[in-house]
Amino acid sequence: ILNVEQSPQSLHVQEGDSTNFTCSFPSSNFYALHWYRWETAKSPEALFVMTLNGDEKKKGRISATLNTKEGYSYLYIKGSQPEDSATYLCAPSRSGNTPLVFGKGTRLSVIA
């Protein structure tokens, strides 16, 4: 089973602050890295999938980068808004024939 670490576990920021958090995973046998956003009382929803070292993805104020050689990905939120409050999960996989392994997530609270 892949060892996936996400840090910090939780984060409280003020509205308008920019923030970032980390997903660490084994760099060997890397296939893909997924980020999901999970709002309270809802289901996880996909944000990004990245496969290549150096990949960067962006959706509105949220962006992500990938370093497969050292085994980490960063998720950035620029100008946090209360509606960004959610748990952000990362999930790497080792191949197309193995399931994703989810980290425990970073819980973000944005205070108005």
Partner 1 sequence: DADVTQTPRNRITKTGKRIMLECSQTKGHDRMYWYRQDPGLGLRLIYYSFDVKDINKGEISDGYSVSRQAQAKFSLSLESAIPNQTALYFCATSDLTSPGGTDTQYFGPGTRLTVL
CB-CB contact of 5 with 26 (8 Å): no
Which of these ranges, 13-21, 30-38, 56-64, 73-81, lies near partner 1 under the rule CB under 8 A? Answer: 30-38
The single residue listed with the structure tokens 């808004």 is 81
Size of the residue set binding partner 1 (CB under 8 A): 22
- Give the one residue of 19, 23, 24, 34 binding partner 1; rule: CB under 8 A: 34
CB-CB contact of 66 with 16 (8 Å): no
Convert residues 70-109 into a mask of x (bound to partner 1 by CB under 8 A) and - (unbound). Answer: -------------------x-x-x--xx-xxxxxxx----
CA-to-CA distance for 23 and 66, rounded, in angstroms?
9
